[in-house]
Structure 1
Amino acid sequence: MMDALTLLRGGLVVSCQPVDDGPMDRPEIVAAMAQAAAAGGAHAIRIEGVENLRAVRPHVDVPIIGIVKRDLERSPVRITPYLEDVAALAEAGADVIAYDATDRARPETSAALVRAIREAGALAMADCATLADGSRAQAEGAAILGTTLSGYTAETEGRGDGVDYELIAGFRALGGFVMAEGRVNTPDLAARALGAGADAVTVGTALTRLEIMTGWFAQSIAEAKERGA
């Protein structure tokens, strides 16, 4: 396969993460989502869970960004918190492994995670919330800086109303590869993210969480009905 960053540059990444425990939350359905996304022009796929990744890998030729999500009792970090997660994702065929790169209490240091990802032959993607996260991740060896966690940490609370174009621009100024991710819900927002300095754009909910998208439309119609539209 061509270098993953070359394949990602200027393209769309589709995050195939169905609603947890929903009717589409099955490896075979995630694999079908990934195939459909690749057929539609996605340059890469983001997959949560080792079993899902194993189901997807034989069916797509584009790079896969792998993550494991965990709900920990003593840490707010959810994305790929353990070295064992890195090993499992690499063994399942991830080309890129994303991890929580925030400066929060965690079971493994971010530096150790990056080192393990690189030693496994994958690229490290830092899921960040702030410019400081990105700067630290870059120094530790992350190949991709993502705006994934902006608005989802205590430090960035209140930034959850739209795409964080300011953070995209900040990462662009740091140099390296910038991934716009988080609340990119329309084609126009994706295009604007590239214009703000992103090298690639990840879209998830708007493409692969049918329950949520259906809810948006249903709510809009209900509100219009109440207004007498």
Structure 2
Amino acid sequence: MDKNAFFDSIRGQMIISCQAVKGEPLYEEERSVMYLMARAAKMAGTSAIRTSSIRDVEAIKAETGLPVIGLVKIQYPGYEGYITPTMKEVDDLLAAGSDVVALDCTLRKRGDGKTVNQFIQEIRDRHGDILLMADISNYEEGVNAWKCGVDIVGTTMSGYTDYTPRLDEPDYELMRRLAADVDIPVIGEGKIHTPEQAVKALETGVWSIVVGGAITRPLEIATRFMSAIEAARGGRA
């Protein structure tokens, strides 16, 4: 799709992530049901959907007609990252109709022995000027991905690598630094659990935000409520 049109459509907006992987309540082996979550997201006014797996990309595109940021979560031996780690996943996502391909752009070990810089260049050589979103975990990785020629940097992996702090809230400082220092859209993502946090994330200067688990993962939502209640009970004891 047209890059500038996509950027304009998501600026200042909330992208909703609709994902379910094996082991989660909304994952069905024989069929995709995430298009129903995407239907709700569209009705709420989201400008784009982020989703994982080929079948969910296809189902959500057919249901909503919205731009889709697609990724594939798969763990290969020797790879520390699991978001769209090889060219096969990139090829499959594009064939399924992904408007943007999201991939792990952390500086962790890759099983093929390549650097993420080399992988990005191979994607460009093969697929030209497709829209690429770099999922990174810290400032250095975000700057590196930008210099490698990705179109979007997302703070998706902050707190999910062993060298970044596990925060109980969004990594506002990472969002703020990247938004100030790179000249491509930065998407704030990760641990945005409340509307107030969503507003605060946008106030860091990021182009847009992604919210997922707080909206589309019922087990995660229910568990947060249950944990808060249990903690309160313990405090009264």
CA distance in 2, matches of 1:186, 1:44: 19
Alignment of 1:151-162 (within 5 A): 151-156=159-164, 158-162=165-169
Q: 2:47 — aligned with what?
A: 43
- 1:168 aligned to 2:175? yes
- 1:114 aligned to 2:120? yes
CA distance in 2, matches of 1:23, 1:135: 36
Q: Which amino acid aligns with 1:103?
A: L
CA contact (8 A) 1:129 1:147 kept: yes
Q: 2:158 — aligned with what?
A: 150
Which deviates more from structure 2 when the two are superposed, residues 215-224 or residues 199-208?
Answer: 215-224
After superposition, the C-alpha distances for 1:69-94 in whole angstroms (9 at most, x for unaligned) are: 11222121111000010010011011
Residue 203 of structure 2 aligns to a residue whose secondary structure is helix
Q: 1:81 — aligned with what?
A: 85
| RMSD (Å), alpha carbons | 2.0
Q: 1:165 to 1:228 in 2, by over 3 A?
A: closer
How far 1:152 moved relative to its partner?
A: 0.9
Q: 1:127 — aligned with what?
A: 135
CA contact (8 A) 2:107 2:115 kept: no
Unmatched 5+ stretches in structure 1:
none
- 1:205 aligned to 2:205? no
Q: 1:19 to 1:217 in 2, by over 3 A?
A: farther
CA distance in 2, matches of 1:171, 1:85: 27
How far 1:136 moved relative to its partner?
A: 1.1
TM-score (norm 1): 0.92
After superposition, the C-alpha distances for 1:82-139 in whole angstroms (9 at most, x for unaligned) are: 0010010011011111111111111354235434268265310000111111111111
CA distance in 2, matches of 1:114, 1:47: 21
Residue 196 of structure 1 aligns to a residue whose secondary structure is coil
How far 1:222 moved relative to its partner?
A: 2.9
Q: 2:200 — aligned with what?
A: 192
Unmatched 5+ stretches in structure 2:
none
Q: 2:15 — aligned with what?
A: 13
Aligned residue pairs: how many? 228
Residue 154 of structure 1 aligns to a residue whose secondary structure is coil
After superposition, the C-alpha distances for 1:150-195 in whole angstroms (9 at most, x for unaligned) are: 1111221x24322111111111122210100000111111111111
Q: 2:100 — aligned with what?
A: 96
Q: Which amino acid aligns with 1:12?
A: M
Which deviates more from structure 2 when the two are superposed, residues 191-200 or residues 103-112?
Answer: 103-112
Which deviates more from structure 2 when the two are superposed, residues 32-41 or residues 16-25?
Answer: 16-25
CA distance in 2, matches of 1:125, 1:137: 9
How far 1:9 moved relative to its partner?
A: 1.0
Alignment of 1:63-74 (within 5 A): 63-74=67-78
CA contact (8 A) 2:32 2:55 kept: no
CA distance in 1, matches of 2:214, 2:21: 12
CA distance in 2, matches of 1:7, 1:89: 21
Residue 126 of structure 1 aligns to a residue whose secondary structure is strand
CA distance in 1, matches of 2:228, 2:21: 21
TM-score (norm 2): 0.89
Which deviates more from structure 2 when the two are superposed, residues 37-46 or residues 215-224?
Answer: 215-224
After superposition, the C-alpha distances for 1:47-78 in whole angstroms (9 at most, x for unaligned) are: 10111111111111221000011122212111
